[in-house]
Structure 1
Protein backbone atom coordinates (compact mmCIF):
# COMPACT_ATOMS: atom_id res chain seq x y z
CA UNK A 1 0.00 0.00 0.00
CA UNK A 2 1.37 3.42 -0.99
CA UNK A 3 -0.02 6.40 0.97
CA UNK A 4 -1.13 9.33 -1.19
CA UNK A 5 -1.07 12.86 0.22
CA UNK A 6 -4.14 15.04 -0.18
CA UNK A 7 -5.38 18.27 1.36
CA UNK A 8 -8.78 19.70 2.20
CA UNK A 9 -9.81 23.34 2.39
CA UNK A 10 -12.37 24.76 4.84
CA UNK A 11 -13.82 28.28 4.98
CA UNK A 12 -15.62 29.90 7.89
CA UNK A 13 -18.43 31.93 6.34
CA UNK A 14 -20.60 34.72 7.69
CA UNK A 15 -23.73 36.23 6.18
CA UNK A 16 -26.19 38.92 7.13
CA UNK A 17 -27.86 36.64 9.66
CA UNK A 18 -26.11 34.35 12.18
CA UNK A 19 -24.82 31.81 12.83
CA UNK A 20 -21.46 31.45 11.13
CA UNK A 21 -20.76 28.09 9.54
CA UNK A 22 -17.90 26.13 8.01
CA UNK A 23 -18.01 24.93 4.39
CA UNK A 24 -15.62 22.51 2.68
CA UNK A 25 -14.27 23.16 -0.82
CA UNK A 26 -15.57 20.61 -3.32
CA UNK A 27 -15.24 22.22 -6.77
CA UNK A 28 -12.91 24.66 -8.54
CA UNK A 29 -14.28 26.23 -11.76
CA UNK A 30 -16.84 23.49 -12.12
CA UNK A 31 -14.42 20.62 -11.62
CA UNK A 32 -13.76 18.50 -8.56
CA UNK A 33 -11.19 20.17 -6.34
CA UNK A 34 -7.77 18.49 -6.41
CA UNK A 35 -5.32 19.55 -3.71
CA UNK A 36 -2.39 17.12 -3.98
CA UNK A 37 0.19 19.08 -1.99
CA UNK A 38 0.76 22.01 0.34
CA UNK A 39 1.96 24.42 -2.37
CA UNK A 40 -1.17 24.04 -4.50
CA UNK A 41 -3.36 24.28 -1.43
CA UNK A 42 -1.73 27.44 -0.10
CA UNK A 43 -1.93 29.15 -3.50
CA UNK A 44 -5.63 28.46 -3.72
CA UNK A 45 -6.15 29.40 -0.08
CA UNK A 46 -4.54 32.82 -0.57
CA UNK A 47 -6.78 33.54 -3.55
CA UNK A 48 -9.88 32.75 -1.47
CA UNK A 49 -9.06 34.81 1.62
CA UNK A 50 -11.76 37.48 1.99
CA UNK A 51 -13.48 36.50 -1.26
CA UNK A 52 -17.31 36.66 -1.45
CA UNK A 53 -19.27 33.42 -1.61
CA UNK A 54 -22.76 32.89 -3.04
CA UNK A 55 -25.34 30.28 -2.12
CA UNK A 56 -26.00 28.33 -5.29
CA UNK A 57 -28.83 26.18 -3.97
CA UNK A 58 -30.60 25.38 -0.73
CA UNK A 59 -32.15 21.93 -0.68
CA UNK A 60 -34.73 21.27 1.97
CA UNK A 61 -36.37 18.01 2.81
CA UNK A 62 -37.83 16.27 5.80
CA UNK A 63 -37.10 12.94 7.36
CA UNK A 64 -38.30 11.34 10.54
CA UNK A 65 -35.88 10.20 13.20
CA UNK A 66 -37.24 7.74 15.69
CA UNK A 67 -35.86 7.17 19.20
CA UNK A 68 -33.46 4.30 19.70
CA UNK A 69 -34.91 1.08 21.15
CA UNK A 70 -34.27 0.08 24.78
CA UNK A 71 -30.89 -1.39 25.60
CA UNK A 72 -30.03 -5.03 25.12
CA UNK A 73 -26.66 -6.45 26.15
CA UNK A 74 -24.90 -5.79 22.84
CA UNK A 75 -26.20 -2.22 22.37
CA UNK A 76 -25.35 -1.34 25.97
CA UNK A 77 -21.77 -2.51 25.43
CA UNK A 78 -21.56 -0.54 22.17
CA UNK A 79 -22.89 2.70 23.66
CA UNK A 80 -20.77 2.38 26.80
CA UNK A 81 -17.70 1.85 24.63
CA UNK A 82 -18.51 4.80 22.36
CA UNK A 83 -19.63 7.31 24.98
CA UNK A 84 -17.88 6.20 28.16
CA UNK A 85 -14.86 4.41 26.64
CA UNK A 86 -15.63 1.28 28.67
CA UNK A 87 -14.56 -2.15 27.49
CA UNK A 88 -17.30 -4.76 27.14
CA UNK A 89 -15.92 -6.57 30.19
CA UNK A 90 -15.93 -3.41 32.32
CA UNK A 91 -19.44 -2.53 31.18
CA UNK A 92 -20.82 -5.91 32.22
CA UNK A 93 -18.94 -5.85 35.53
CA UNK A 94 -20.42 -2.49 36.51
CA UNK A 95 -23.86 -3.48 35.22
CA UNK A 96 -23.64 -6.59 37.44
CA UNK A 97 -22.98 -4.35 40.44
CA UNK A 98 -25.96 -2.14 39.63
CA UNK A 99 -28.17 -5.18 39.16
CA UNK A 100 -27.14 -7.00 42.35
CA UNK A 101 -27.65 -3.92 44.47
CA UNK A 102 -26.01 -0.77 45.78
CA UNK A 103 -26.28 0.51 49.34
CA UNK A 104 -28.57 3.54 49.47
CA UNK A 105 -29.19 5.68 52.56
CA UNK A 106 -32.23 4.48 54.55
CA UNK A 107 -33.01 1.83 51.92
CA UNK A 108 -30.19 -0.68 52.17
CA UNK A 109 -29.04 -2.64 49.15
CA UNK A 110 -31.19 -1.78 46.14
CA UNK A 111 -30.99 -3.21 42.63
CA UNK A 112 -30.94 -0.22 40.29
CA UNK A 113 -31.33 -1.91 36.90
CA UNK A 114 -32.97 -4.99 35.43
CA UNK A 115 -31.00 -8.07 34.37
CA UNK A 116 -28.17 -7.04 32.09
CA UNK A 117 -27.87 -10.16 29.92
CA UNK A 118 -30.79 -9.98 27.53
CA UNK A 119 -31.56 -9.88 23.82
CA UNK A 120 -35.07 -8.46 24.18
CA UNK A 121 -36.22 -4.85 23.70
CA UNK A 122 -39.45 -5.56 25.55
CA UNK A 123 -40.27 -3.23 28.46
CA UNK A 124 -42.77 -4.16 31.15
CA UNK A 125 -46.08 -2.33 30.92
CA UNK A 126 -45.69 -0.87 34.42
CA UNK A 127 -42.25 0.54 33.62
CA UNK A 128 -43.49 2.01 30.35
CA UNK A 129 -46.42 3.67 32.10
CA UNK A 130 -44.04 5.05 34.72
CA UNK A 131 -41.69 6.44 32.06
CA UNK A 132 -44.53 8.07 30.11
CA UNK A 133 -45.76 9.64 33.32
CA UNK A 134 -42.29 11.05 33.99
CA UNK A 135 -42.10 12.55 30.49
CA UNK A 136 -45.56 14.10 30.84
CA UNK A 137 -44.75 15.59 34.24
CA UNK A 138 -41.28 16.92 33.44
CA UNK A 139 -41.52 17.83 29.76
CA UNK A 140 -45.17 18.03 28.80
CA UNK A 141 -47.80 15.90 27.10
CA UNK A 142 -46.78 17.13 23.63
CA UNK A 143 -43.58 15.09 23.88
CA UNK A 144 -45.46 11.79 23.98
CA UNK A 145 -46.99 9.89 21.07
CA UNK A 146 -50.53 8.60 21.48
CA UNK A 147 -49.16 5.06 21.77
CA UNK A 148 -45.72 3.86 22.92
CA UNK A 149 -43.25 3.07 20.11
CA UNK A 150 -43.21 -0.55 18.97
CA UNK A 151 -39.82 -2.06 18.14
CA UNK A 152 -39.14 -4.94 15.81
CA UNK A 153 -38.27 -8.18 17.55
CA UNK A 154 -35.30 -10.21 16.38
CA UNK A 155 -36.46 -13.66 15.29
CA UNK A 156 -33.62 -15.30 17.19
CA UNK A 157 -34.31 -13.38 20.41
CA UNK A 158 -35.22 -15.64 23.32
CA UNK A 159 -36.91 -12.82 25.29
CA UNK A 160 -36.39 -14.59 28.59
CA UNK A 161 -35.82 -11.16 30.19
CA UNK A 162 -37.00 -7.67 29.36
CA UNK A 163 -34.73 -4.90 28.11
CA UNK A 164 -32.07 -3.30 30.30
CA UNK A 165 -33.68 -0.37 32.11
CA UNK A 166 -33.68 1.35 35.51
CA UNK A 167 -35.73 -0.50 38.10
CA UNK A 168 -37.48 2.79 38.97
CA UNK A 169 -37.56 5.87 36.77
CA UNK A 170 -37.97 8.03 39.89
CA UNK A 171 -34.36 7.23 40.89
CA UNK A 172 -32.75 9.89 38.74
CA UNK A 173 -28.96 9.80 38.40
CA UNK A 174 -28.48 13.11 40.20
CA UNK A 175 -30.16 11.63 43.29
CA UNK A 176 -27.63 8.77 43.43
CA UNK A 177 -24.46 10.79 42.91
CA UNK A 178 -23.37 10.31 46.54
CA UNK A 179 -24.06 6.57 46.59
CA UNK A 180 -22.39 5.42 43.36
CA UNK A 181 -18.82 5.45 42.15
CA UNK A 182 -17.93 7.61 39.15
CA UNK A 183 -18.10 4.66 36.73
CA UNK A 184 -21.29 3.28 38.26
CA UNK A 185 -22.98 6.66 37.99
CA UNK A 186 -21.88 7.10 34.36
CA UNK A 187 -23.27 3.72 33.31
CA UNK A 188 -26.44 4.15 35.34
CA UNK A 189 -27.05 7.55 33.72
CA UNK A 190 -26.61 5.97 30.29
CA UNK A 191 -29.19 3.29 31.11
CA UNK A 192 -31.56 5.65 32.88
CA UNK A 193 -31.69 8.19 30.06
CA UNK A 194 -32.56 5.52 27.51
CA UNK A 195 -35.97 4.68 29.01
CA UNK A 196 -37.59 8.16 28.81
CA UNK A 197 -35.93 8.52 25.39
CA UNK A 198 -37.57 5.36 24.04
CA UNK A 199 -40.95 6.46 25.42
CA UNK A 200 -41.06 9.67 23.40
CA UNK A 201 -42.11 10.18 19.83
CA UNK A 202 -39.91 10.62 16.78
CA UNK A 203 -38.80 13.96 15.50
CA UNK A 204 -38.72 15.57 12.08
CA UNK A 205 -35.46 17.01 10.73
CA UNK A 206 -34.98 19.22 7.71
CA UNK A 207 -31.76 18.68 5.81
CA UNK A 208 -29.45 21.42 3.87
CA UNK A 209 -22.35 23.17 -1.94
CA UNK A 210 -17.92 24.51 -1.01
CA UNK A 211 -20.41 22.10 0.69
CA UNK A 212 -22.37 22.30 3.90
CA UNK A 213 -24.98 19.95 5.25
CA UNK A 214 -26.92 19.93 8.48
CA UNK A 215 -30.34 19.52 10.03
CA UNK A 216 -32.80 21.64 11.93
CA UNK A 217 -35.42 20.30 14.30
CA UNK A 218 -38.88 21.24 13.09
CA UNK A 219 -40.50 19.90 16.27
CA UNK A 220 -39.17 19.94 19.83
CA UNK A 221 -39.60 16.19 20.46
CA UNK A 222 -37.18 14.22 22.58
CA UNK A 223 -34.02 16.32 22.24
CA UNK A 224 -34.81 18.52 25.20
CA UNK A 225 -34.23 15.88 27.86
CA UNK A 226 -31.72 13.70 26.09
CA UNK A 227 -28.90 16.11 25.31
CA UNK A 228 -26.50 13.85 27.16
CA UNK A 229 -27.68 10.75 25.34
CA UNK A 230 -26.93 11.94 21.83
CA UNK A 231 -25.00 14.73 20.23
CA UNK A 232 -27.36 17.33 18.70
CA UNK A 233 -27.25 17.84 14.94
CA UNK A 234 -25.16 20.55 13.29
CA UNK A 235 -27.27 23.64 12.71
CA UNK A 236 -27.41 25.20 9.26
CA UNK A 237 -28.29 28.90 8.84
CA UNK A 238 -31.58 29.77 7.22
CA UNK A 239 -31.69 31.35 3.77
CA UNK A 240 -34.84 33.01 2.46
CA UNK A 241 -33.68 33.18 -1.14
CA UNK A 242 -32.18 30.45 -3.26
CA UNK A 243 -29.83 32.91 -4.97
CA UNK A 244 -29.15 35.01 -1.90
CA UNK A 245 -25.64 36.23 -1.07
CA UNK A 246 -26.03 34.85 2.41
CA UNK A 247 -22.54 33.41 3.05
CA UNK A 248 -21.25 36.76 1.87
CA UNK A 249 -17.71 36.81 3.18
CA UNK A 250 -15.19 34.29 4.39
CA UNK A 251 -13.53 35.19 7.66
CA UNK A 252 -11.04 32.37 7.62
CA UNK A 253 -9.89 29.77 5.12
CA UNK A 254 -7.77 26.94 6.49
CA UNK A 255 -6.24 23.78 5.07
CA UNK A 256 -5.85 20.33 6.60
CA UNK A 257 -3.27 17.79 5.37
CA UNK A 258 -4.25 14.12 5.18
CA UNK A 259 -3.20 10.92 3.48
CA UNK A 260 -4.87 7.74 2.43
CA UNK A 261 -4.29 4.77 4.70
CA UNK A 262 -4.96 1.04 4.58
CA UNK A 263 -7.90 -0.44 6.42
CA UNK A 264 -7.36 -0.97 10.15
CA UNK A 265 -9.12 -4.30 9.96
CA UNK A 266 -6.51 -7.08 9.93
CA UNK A 267 -6.43 -9.13 6.76
CA UNK A 268 -7.67 -12.68 7.21
CA UNK A 269 -5.84 -15.53 5.55
CA UNK A 270 -7.99 -17.44 3.10
CA UNK A 271 -7.52 -21.12 2.58
CA UNK A 272 -8.22 -22.75 -0.74
CA UNK A 273 -9.03 -26.44 -0.82
Structure 2
Protein backbone atom coordinates (compact mmCIF):
# COMPACT_ATOMS: atom_id res chain seq x y z
CA UNK A 1 0.00 0.00 0.00
CA UNK A 2 1.11 3.56 -0.67
CA UNK A 3 1.89 5.52 2.47
CA UNK A 4 0.58 8.87 1.29
CA UNK A 5 -1.32 8.47 -2.00
CA UNK A 6 -2.40 11.58 -3.87
CA UNK A 7 -4.55 12.22 -6.89
CA UNK A 8 -3.52 14.12 -10.02
CA UNK A 9 -6.48 15.53 -11.97
CA UNK A 10 -6.31 16.76 -15.57
CA UNK A 11 -8.83 17.08 -18.41
CA UNK A 12 -6.43 17.56 -21.33
CA UNK A 13 -4.09 14.86 -22.57
CA UNK A 14 -1.13 17.16 -23.17
CA UNK A 15 2.35 17.30 -21.62
CA UNK A 16 1.60 20.68 -20.06
CA UNK A 17 -1.66 19.54 -18.46
CA UNK A 18 -0.23 16.25 -17.16
CA UNK A 19 2.86 17.90 -15.66
CA UNK A 20 0.74 20.60 -14.02
CA UNK A 21 -1.59 17.96 -12.54
CA UNK A 22 1.30 15.98 -11.08
CA UNK A 23 2.85 19.13 -9.66
CA UNK A 24 -0.46 20.03 -7.99
CA UNK A 25 -1.57 16.58 -6.85
CA UNK A 26 -3.94 16.69 -3.87
CA UNK A 27 -5.20 14.38 -1.17
CA UNK A 28 -7.69 11.68 -2.07
CA UNK A 29 -11.35 12.68 -1.92
CA UNK A 30 -13.12 10.02 0.14
CA UNK A 31 -16.48 11.13 -1.23
CA UNK A 32 -15.35 10.29 -4.77
CA UNK A 33 -14.04 6.94 -3.59
CA UNK A 34 -17.35 6.18 -1.89
CA UNK A 35 -19.22 7.17 -5.06
CA UNK A 36 -17.11 4.73 -7.07
CA UNK A 37 -17.85 1.97 -4.58
CA UNK A 38 -21.57 2.75 -4.81
CA UNK A 39 -21.42 2.46 -8.61
CA UNK A 40 -19.59 -0.84 -8.23
CA UNK A 41 -22.33 -2.14 -5.92
CA UNK A 42 -25.02 -1.07 -8.39
CA UNK A 43 -23.16 -2.79 -11.21
CA UNK A 44 -23.10 -6.03 -9.24
CA UNK A 45 -26.68 -5.83 -7.98
CA UNK A 46 -28.16 -4.98 -11.38
CA UNK A 47 -25.70 -6.83 -13.56
CA UNK A 48 -25.54 -10.09 -11.60
CA UNK A 49 -29.20 -10.29 -10.56
CA UNK A 50 -31.12 -8.59 -13.36
CA UNK A 51 -29.09 -9.80 -16.35
CA UNK A 52 -30.07 -13.49 -15.92
CA UNK A 53 -33.72 -12.44 -15.65
CA UNK A 54 -33.44 -10.37 -18.84
CA UNK A 55 -31.90 -13.29 -20.71
CA UNK A 56 -34.62 -15.70 -19.54
CA UNK A 57 -37.62 -13.43 -20.21
CA UNK A 58 -36.78 -11.30 -23.23
CA UNK A 59 -33.73 -12.84 -24.83
CA UNK A 60 -31.64 -9.75 -24.08
CA UNK A 61 -27.97 -10.10 -23.36
CA UNK A 62 -27.50 -8.09 -20.18
CA UNK A 63 -28.67 -5.23 -17.97
CA UNK A 64 -26.71 -2.45 -16.30
CA UNK A 65 -27.12 0.67 -14.19
CA UNK A 66 -26.53 2.89 -17.25
CA UNK A 67 -27.87 0.95 -20.22
CA UNK A 68 -31.09 -0.06 -18.44
CA UNK A 69 -32.01 3.55 -17.68
CA UNK A 70 -31.09 4.61 -21.22
CA UNK A 71 -33.22 1.79 -22.64
CA UNK A 72 -36.14 2.92 -20.47
CA UNK A 73 -35.88 6.46 -21.91
CA UNK A 74 -35.74 5.07 -25.45
CA UNK A 75 -38.82 2.92 -24.79
CA UNK A 76 -40.74 5.90 -23.40
CA UNK A 77 -39.90 7.94 -26.48
CA UNK A 78 -40.87 5.07 -28.78
CA UNK A 79 -44.28 4.82 -27.07
CA UNK A 80 -44.80 8.55 -27.65
CA UNK A 81 -43.92 8.13 -31.32
CA UNK A 82 -46.27 5.16 -31.66
CA UNK A 83 -49.12 7.05 -29.97
CA UNK A 84 -48.66 10.13 -32.15
CA UNK A 85 -51.62 10.81 -34.43
CA UNK A 86 -50.44 12.45 -37.68
CA UNK A 87 -52.47 15.31 -39.16
CA UNK A 88 -52.45 16.06 -42.87
CA UNK A 89 -52.02 19.75 -43.66
CA UNK A 90 -51.10 21.99 -46.57
CA UNK A 91 -48.46 24.71 -46.68
CA UNK A 92 -49.40 27.77 -48.74
CA UNK A 93 -46.87 30.40 -49.79
CA UNK A 94 -46.20 33.01 -52.46
CA UNK A 95 -42.89 33.58 -54.21
CA UNK A 96 -42.39 37.17 -55.36
CA UNK A 97 -40.28 38.40 -58.26
CA UNK A 98 -38.42 40.67 -55.83
CA UNK A 99 -36.75 37.58 -54.41
CA UNK A 100 -38.60 36.84 -51.18
CA UNK A 101 -41.24 34.36 -50.09
CA UNK A 102 -44.31 34.92 -47.91
CA UNK A 103 -45.98 32.03 -46.11
CA UNK A 104 -49.65 31.94 -45.20
CA UNK A 105 -49.77 32.31 -41.42
CA UNK A 106 -53.42 31.46 -40.90
CA UNK A 107 -54.45 34.94 -39.76
CA UNK A 108 -56.35 35.98 -42.89
CA UNK A 109 -59.46 38.07 -42.29
CA UNK A 110 -61.12 36.75 -45.45
CA UNK A 111 -64.17 34.65 -44.67
CA UNK A 112 -64.29 31.23 -46.36
CA UNK A 113 -66.59 31.01 -49.37
CA UNK A 114 -68.15 27.58 -49.89
CA UNK A 115 -70.06 26.33 -52.91
CA UNK A 116 -73.26 24.30 -52.88
CA UNK A 117 -71.35 21.09 -52.20
CA UNK A 118 -70.54 20.07 -48.68
CA UNK A 119 -66.81 20.53 -48.06
CA UNK A 120 -65.29 18.73 -45.10
CA UNK A 121 -62.88 20.95 -43.21
CA UNK A 122 -60.52 18.95 -41.05
CA UNK A 123 -59.95 22.05 -38.93
CA UNK A 124 -63.32 21.49 -37.29
CA UNK A 125 -61.97 18.35 -35.67
CA UNK A 126 -58.92 20.06 -34.19
CA UNK A 127 -58.87 21.23 -30.61
CA UNK A 128 -59.38 24.99 -30.57
CA UNK A 129 -56.73 25.36 -27.87
CA UNK A 130 -54.05 23.96 -30.19
CA UNK A 131 -52.79 27.27 -31.56
CA UNK A 132 -50.04 25.69 -33.64
CA UNK A 133 -52.35 23.29 -35.47
CA UNK A 134 -55.16 25.86 -35.87
CA UNK A 135 -52.88 28.11 -37.96
CA UNK A 136 -52.25 25.37 -40.48
CA UNK A 137 -54.38 24.79 -43.54
CA UNK A 138 -55.99 21.48 -42.74
CA UNK A 139 -58.01 20.77 -45.89
CA UNK A 140 -57.25 20.82 -49.60
CA UNK A 141 -60.41 22.84 -50.26
CA UNK A 142 -59.25 25.60 -47.92
CA UNK A 143 -55.77 25.60 -49.46
CA UNK A 144 -57.29 25.95 -52.94
CA UNK A 145 -59.52 28.80 -51.76
CA UNK A 146 -56.57 30.71 -50.28
CA UNK A 147 -54.59 30.31 -53.50
CA UNK A 148 -57.50 31.65 -55.55
CA UNK A 149 -57.86 34.65 -53.25
CA UNK A 150 -54.11 35.34 -53.44
CA UNK A 151 -54.20 35.26 -57.24
CA UNK A 152 -57.13 37.66 -57.57
CA UNK A 153 -56.24 40.26 -54.93
CA UNK A 154 -53.35 42.74 -54.69
CA UNK A 155 -50.62 42.03 -52.18
CA UNK A 156 -49.45 44.78 -49.85
CA UNK A 157 -46.41 44.92 -47.58
CA UNK A 158 -47.82 46.41 -44.39
CA UNK A 159 -44.63 46.57 -42.39
CA UNK A 160 -40.93 45.93 -42.84
CA UNK A 161 -38.65 45.55 -39.85
CA UNK A 162 -34.88 45.37 -39.89
CA UNK A 163 -33.02 43.76 -37.03
CA UNK A 164 -29.31 43.69 -36.37
CA UNK A 165 -28.39 40.48 -34.61
CA UNK A 166 -25.15 39.25 -33.14
CA UNK A 167 -24.39 35.59 -33.53
CA UNK A 168 -21.97 33.84 -31.24
CA UNK A 169 -19.69 31.17 -32.69
CA UNK A 170 -20.91 27.62 -32.41
CA UNK A 171 -19.54 25.66 -29.46
CA UNK A 172 -16.58 23.39 -30.16
CA UNK A 173 -17.21 19.76 -30.93
CA UNK A 174 -18.13 17.26 -28.27
CA UNK A 175 -18.70 13.59 -29.10
CA UNK A 176 -22.38 13.94 -29.98
CA UNK A 177 -22.05 17.13 -32.06
CA UNK A 178 -19.05 15.65 -33.89
CA UNK A 179 -21.13 12.62 -34.84
CA UNK A 180 -24.05 14.80 -35.94
CA UNK A 181 -21.87 17.01 -38.13
CA UNK A 182 -20.15 14.00 -39.71
CA UNK A 183 -23.55 12.45 -40.45
CA UNK A 184 -25.03 15.59 -42.02
CA UNK A 185 -21.99 16.72 -44.01
CA UNK A 186 -20.22 13.46 -44.81
CA UNK A 187 -22.93 10.83 -44.43
CA UNK A 188 -20.91 8.89 -41.85
CA UNK A 189 -22.49 6.67 -39.24
CA UNK A 190 -21.59 7.25 -35.56
CA UNK A 191 -19.43 4.12 -35.64
CA UNK A 192 -17.53 5.31 -38.72
CA UNK A 193 -17.05 8.76 -37.20
CA UNK A 194 -15.61 7.38 -33.97
CA UNK A 195 -13.31 5.04 -35.90
CA UNK A 196 -11.87 7.93 -37.91
CA UNK A 197 -11.62 10.10 -34.79
CA UNK A 198 -9.76 7.32 -32.97
CA UNK A 199 -7.23 7.12 -35.80
CA UNK A 200 -6.75 10.90 -35.79
CA UNK A 201 -6.31 10.87 -32.02
CA UNK A 202 -3.82 7.99 -32.00
CA UNK A 203 -1.81 9.62 -34.76
CA UNK A 204 -1.01 9.52 -38.46
CA UNK A 205 2.33 9.31 -40.21
CA UNK A 206 3.63 12.74 -41.21
CA UNK A 207 6.96 13.82 -42.76
CA UNK A 208 8.23 14.79 -39.29
CA UNK A 209 7.01 11.58 -37.64
CA UNK A 210 3.81 10.14 -36.27
CA UNK A 211 1.54 12.67 -34.61
CA UNK A 212 -1.95 12.82 -33.16
CA UNK A 213 -4.07 15.45 -34.89
CA UNK A 214 -7.02 15.92 -32.52
CA UNK A 215 -7.62 15.89 -28.79
CA UNK A 216 -9.47 13.05 -27.08
CA UNK A 217 -12.75 12.54 -28.92
CA UNK A 218 -14.90 11.02 -26.18
CA UNK A 219 -15.98 14.09 -24.25
CA UNK A 220 -19.08 16.01 -23.23
CA UNK A 221 -17.28 19.23 -22.35
CA UNK A 222 -17.03 22.38 -24.49
CA UNK A 223 -14.16 23.81 -22.45
CA UNK A 224 -11.00 24.90 -24.26
CA UNK A 225 -7.50 24.77 -22.84
CA UNK A 226 -5.89 28.20 -22.27
CA UNK A 227 -2.88 27.10 -24.33
CA UNK A 228 -5.12 26.30 -27.30
CA UNK A 229 -6.91 29.67 -27.08
CA UNK A 230 -3.57 31.48 -26.90
CA UNK A 231 -2.26 29.67 -29.98
CA UNK A 232 -5.43 30.46 -31.94
CA UNK A 233 -5.12 34.16 -31.10
CA UNK A 234 -1.45 34.08 -32.07
CA UNK A 235 -2.32 32.52 -35.44
CA UNK A 236 -5.10 35.05 -36.06
CA UNK A 237 -2.79 37.93 -35.16
CA UNK A 238 -0.44 36.85 -37.95
CA UNK A 239 -2.94 35.80 -40.62
CA UNK A 240 -6.18 37.71 -39.90
CA UNK A 241 -5.46 40.54 -37.44
CA UNK A 242 -8.78 42.31 -38.09
CA UNK A 243 -10.75 39.40 -36.63
CA UNK A 244 -8.87 38.69 -33.42
CA UNK A 245 -11.56 38.44 -30.70
CA UNK A 246 -11.17 40.65 -27.66
CA UNK A 247 -12.22 37.82 -25.38
CA UNK A 248 -12.72 34.09 -25.67
CA UNK A 249 -16.32 32.93 -25.90
CA UNK A 250 -17.21 30.54 -23.10
CA UNK A 251 -20.10 28.18 -23.73
CA UNK A 252 -22.27 27.02 -20.88
CA UNK A 253 -21.72 23.40 -19.94
CA UNK A 254 -24.65 21.02 -19.79
CA UNK A 255 -25.81 20.23 -16.28
CA UNK A 256 -25.02 16.54 -16.86
CA UNK A 257 -21.56 17.14 -18.37
CA UNK A 258 -18.77 15.31 -16.55
CA UNK A 259 -16.07 17.55 -18.09
CA UNK A 260 -13.42 14.85 -17.80
CA UNK A 261 -11.81 16.02 -21.06
CA UNK A 262 -11.69 19.21 -23.07
CA UNK A 263 -13.63 19.71 -26.31
CA UNK A 264 -12.56 18.01 -29.54
CA UNK A 265 -10.11 20.38 -31.24
CA UNK A 266 -6.97 20.21 -33.35
CA UNK A 267 -3.89 19.13 -31.46
CA UNK A 268 -1.69 21.92 -30.24
CA UNK A 269 2.02 22.26 -30.85
CA UNK A 270 4.17 19.49 -29.50
TM-score normalised according to structure 2 size: 0.50
Task: Compute the displacement of 1:70 (Å).
Answer: 1.9
Query: Is 1:29–2:109 an aligned residue pair?
Result: yes
Unpaired segments ≥5 residues, structure 2: 1-83, 112-133
2:156 is the alignment partner of 1:76: no
Alpha-carbon displacement from aligned partner over 1:210-261 (angstroms, at most 9, x marks no partner):
xxxxxxxxxxxxxxxxxxxxxxxxxxxxxxxxxxxxxxxxxxxxxxxxxxxx
Match of 1:121 among 192, 216, 222: 222
Correspondence 1:9 to 2:89: no
Q: 1:53 to 1:33 in 2, by over 3 A?
A: farther
Partner of 2:189: 87
Aligned-residue Cα RMSD (Å) equals 3.1
Distance 1:33 1:148, change over 3 A: closer
Deviations 1:90-126 (A, max 9, x none): 221110011111223x233221111112233232222
Match of 1:64 in 2: 166
Distance of aligned partners of 1:14 and 1:50 in 2 relative to their CA distance in 1, 3 Å threshold: farther
Larger radius of gyration: 2
In 1, the alpha carbon distance for the partners of 2:240 and 2:191 equals 35
Equivalenced residue count is 163
Q: Offset of 1:24 from its aligned partner?
A: 0.7
2: CA distance between counterparts of 1:131 and 1:120?
Answer: 19
Question: C-alpha distance in 2, partners of 1:151/1:70?
Answer: 9
Shift of 1:23: 0.8
2:200 to 87, 91, 98: 98
Deviations 1:42-92 (A, max 9, x none): 343244237532111223444432112222223322333343333222221
Residue aligned with 2:220, SS:
coil
Greater fraction of residues in helix? 2
Aligned-partner SS, 2:176: helix
**Structure with the greater relative contact order (CA < 8 A, sep ≥ 6): 1 or 2?**
1
Aligned to 1:42: 144
For residue 149 of structure 1, what is the aligned residue in structure 2?
Answer: 249
Specify whether residues 112 and 23 from structure 1 end up closer, same or farther in structure 2 by C-alpha distance, changes over 3 A only.
Answer: same
Aligned to 1:271: none
Mark the runs of 5 or more structure 1 residues left unpaired by the alignment: 170-273
* Cα distance, 1:42–1:98 mapped onto 2, change above 3 Å: same
Partners of 1:160 and 1:9 in 2: how far apart? 49
Question: 1:109 pairs with 210, 222, 232, which one?
Answer: 210
Which residue in the other structure is 1:252 paired with?
none
TM superposition shift of 1:33: 6.7
Residues 149 and 44 from structure 1, CA distance in 2 versus in 1: closer, same or farther, beyond 3 angstroms? closer
- 1:148-178 CA-to-partner distances (Å, cap 9, x unmatched) read 1223345654444322111149xxxxxxxxx
